[in-house]
Amino acid sequence: MMLVDDLLAGSRRALARVLTLIENDAAAAAEALAALFPHTGRAHLVGVTGAPGTGKSTLVNQVALELRRQGRTVGIVAVDPTSPFSGGAILGDRIRMRDLAGDPGVFIRSMASRGSLGGLARATSNVVRALDAAGFDVVLIETVGAGQSEVDIARHAQTVVVVEAPGLGDDIQAFKAGILEIADVLVVNKADDPRAKNTARALQAMLDLGNGSAGRHMALHHGVLMAAALPTQATAEPDSAPRWAVPIQETNALRGDGVPDLVAALDSHRAYLAGSGEMARRERSRAALELDSLLRERLLARLLADVDRQRLAALVDDIVSRRTVPHEAARLLVEESAP
């Protein structure tokens, strides 16, 4: 596939075209991704997340500038699960362009939701893969929001950075506890704010309480039917492996303060992943999750290809009118489709 050859040879235009294929979920994207797949696995995938107002976009720009200073190339994927109306993604691109424009060592892609959040997660995963294959040393994946989208980051990223800022509300504690679980590195941005020290102390106290990122792997593995099939997980002895102590980095993204230390923390975490065997464990986990989701997709598509549309509509009617329990409707469809 010529487009893929051009991408692998460093053509930014070919890369942009492949990313558009991926975003449009074109059939041609599957072919391109298959050709790119053997060339993936080299980039350091770093997720950056946090609530609105923490200044994480500015921080991502600063991290990119610092990596460039060190001679490393950077791909940025900004995932904005907001309205197609908002134009947020395009605006974001324009702001970033001021700092990073014209540097061939940086490639920025903003992705907005087009109605399907599941589709966005899949597209993001594939865009990250294409940037990895294109040879970027580091791929920064930035997401807005909290909750599920942050857990999804953990599936794409090797190192997850959670950005906090002082004074974002009083009842934010429970919220922080939730995202602490997926953090490999914590950042208190706007560190010049007099409340920053308090925020850092509160985060440290919660880390001490919750054992940091220990819960994350639980969240990733739980509920995945095929986890049982992974011998390296069954034989893994997490207690004997060295533990990663989640660092709290203070930054001022507007001035760039603390950014070199943050980049050093990212590098340390990657070294930890490689040295502890945790990288291999996460790779297997990610592969199993992807296989899980692809199998569901494929099996459902196969079933639906055989099912009569009238029958399907009648079953939906039966659920709506409470004549048939949803589980029973699913059972009937699977049974009827089985040869």
Q: Which of residues 153-212 bind its own copies (CB under 8 A)?
A: 168-175, 177-178, 180-181, 206, 209-211
* Per-position DSSP letters for 210-242, written without gaps between them: HTTTHHHHHHHHTT-GGGGG-HHHHT--TTTSP
Interface region with its own copies, contact rule CB under 8 A, candidates 68-76, 140-148, 243-251, 264-272 = 140-148
Side chain identity at residue 271, one-letter code? A
Q: Which is nearer to its own copies, 68 or 175 (CB)?
A: 175
What is d(CA 247, CA 222) in angstroms, rounded to the nearest whole number? 26
Give the burial class of 160: count Cβ atoms within 10 A of its Cβ; 0-12 exposed, 13-18 middle, 19 or more buried.
buried
Report whether 137 contacts 92 (CB < 8 A).
no
Q: Which is nearer to its own copies, 103 or 317 (CB)?
A: 317
CB of 263 to its own copies, least distance (A): 23
Interface region with its own copies, contact rule CB under 8 A, candidates 3-11, 59-67, 260-268, 293-301 = 293-301
Report whether 224 contacts 163 (CB < 8 A).
no
CA count, 13 A, side-chain hemisphere, 137: 16
Q: Is 101 in the site for its own copies (CB under 8 A)?
A: no
| Options 197, 294, 306, 336; binder of its own copies; rule CB under 8 A | 294
Report whether 269 contacts 161 (CB < 8 A).
no
Q: Which is nearer to its own copies, 103 or 328 (CB)?
A: 328
Q: Is 245 in the site for its own copies (CB under 8 A)?
A: no
Q: Is 238 in the site for its own copies (CB under 8 A)?
A: no
| Options 114, 197, 201, 255; binder of its own copies; rule CB under 8 A | 114
Q: 81-100: which residues touch its own copies (CB under 8 A)? A: 81-86, 88, 91-92
Given its phi and psi angles, is residue 111 left (phi above 0), alpha (psi -120 to 50 degrees) or beta?
Answer: beta
Q: 260-279: which residues touch its own copies (CB under 8 A)? A: none
